[in-house]
């Protein structure tokens, strides 16, 4: 019976491994397709393979409007991430560490942008800007992105704040550290991994957003909007280049983070 049980367990393990490989392959198919067709010697569209070339990578801006759209998405993403991360971190610390009137409703309201469909959120913001007579453009896009990114930042940083040991900050105060010194020398370094994770999540959400941006963009064209507009006449291969480069950069950042974290843990283990 033990032999039969071990065989069943082994088959279950093999089945789970095969299922995991198939699921991962299914998820990676669009990314692999995008990367391969970034080297396609395409003309008007990038659907059929016509031959290998490096021209798309060496001359990305040859497709009209793609570099301008990418630059707009990059600027909007960076500014929105900085603002949303700063405000979201402050809100997360306040919600975890302090008791004040309205704390519970604020906790509930922070989940509304995450639960509300983007069509509803984008249309509502567009109507609000129209009622106030605000011209749509970079400012309205950044306001919209900050609004829905803050919720994700707060949720991410709150988890990190909740896991901190208050005794570490109390030790800093016992050593006659001022509130600002305790925050920057003790609290902030401990919160930094959570803040960086929230910032990366915020940037990816901002850079990738199409629906809310489309409602509030005005004359500005971001990279997702460029892809949507270009799809009607054929997405250029240069768009695959930009998408592949962003994906490779994200993988590189994750690898650097994991390697540095592992090195830091090894140094701490040697000290202990």
pLDDT digits (tens, 9 = 90+) for 160-178: 888 887 777 778 777 777 8
Residue 165, φ and ψ in degrees, nearest 5? -90, 115
Model pLDDT, residue 4: 61
**Among the listed residues 75, 118, 34, the one whose alpha carbon sits nearest the alpha carbon of residue 220:** 75
Query: What is the fold, at CATH topology level, of the domain defined by 65-235?
Result: MetI-like fold (1.10.3720)
Residue 111 to residue 151: CA distance in whole angstroms: 6
State the pTM of this model: 0.82
pLDDT level of residue 1 (50, 70, 90 thresholds): very low
Per-residue pLDDT tens digits for 89-114: 999 998 888 888 888 888 888 888 88
Q: Hey, CA dihedral for 94, 98, 100, 105, is it positive or negative?
A: positive
Model pLDDT, residue 223: 92
* Residue 253 contacts residue 200 (beta carbons within 8 Å): yes
Q: What is the mean pLDDT of residues 63-79?
A: 91
Per-residue pLDDT tens digits for 233-249: 778 888 889 989 988 88
Residue 237 to residue 226: CA distance in whole angstroms: 13
Per-residue pLDDT tens digits for 127-146: 999 999 889 999 999 999 99
pLDDT level of residue 73 (50, 70, 90 thresholds): very high
The beta-carbon contacts of 55-62 under 8 Å, at least 24 apart in sequence, are 56/237, 56/238, 56/240, 56/241, 57/241, 59/238, 60/238, 60/241, 60/242, 61/238, 62/238
Which has more pLDDT, 3 or 223? 223
């Amino acid at each position: 019976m033990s032999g039969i049980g071990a065989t069943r367990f082994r088959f279950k393990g093999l089945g789970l491994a095969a299922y995991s490989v198939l699921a991962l392959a299914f998820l990676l198919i669009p990314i692999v397709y995008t990367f391969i067709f970034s080297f396609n010697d395409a003309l008007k569209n990038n659907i059929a393979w016509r031959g290998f070339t490096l021209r798309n990578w060496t001359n990305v801006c040859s497709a009209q409007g793609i570099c301008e759209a990418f630059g707009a998405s990059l600027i909007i993403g960076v500014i929105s991430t900085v603002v949303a991360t700063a405000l979201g971190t402050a809100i997360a610390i306040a919600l975890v560490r302090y008791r004040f009137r309205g704390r519970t409703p604020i906790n509930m309201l922070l989940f509304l942008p995450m639960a509300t469909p983007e069509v509803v959120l984008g249309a509502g913001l567009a109507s609000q800007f129209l009622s106030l007579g605000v011209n749509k453009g970079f400012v309205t896009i950044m306001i919209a992105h900050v609004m829905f990114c803050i919720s994700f930042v707060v949720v991410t940083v709150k988890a990190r704040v909740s896991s901190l040991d208050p005794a570490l900050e109390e030790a800093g105060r016992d050593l006659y550290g001022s509130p600002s010194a305790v925050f920057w020398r003790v609290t902030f370094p401990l919160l930094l991994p959570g803040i960086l994770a929230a910032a990366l999540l915020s940037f990816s959400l901002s850079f990738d957003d199409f629906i809310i941006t489309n409602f509030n963009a005005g004359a500005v064209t971001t990279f997702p909007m460029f892809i949507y507009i270009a799809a009607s006449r054929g997405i250029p291969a240069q768009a695959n280049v930009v998408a592949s480069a962003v994906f490779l950069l994200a993988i590189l950042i994750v690898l650097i983070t994991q390697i540095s974290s592992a090195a830091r843990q090894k140094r701490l283990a040697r000290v202990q």
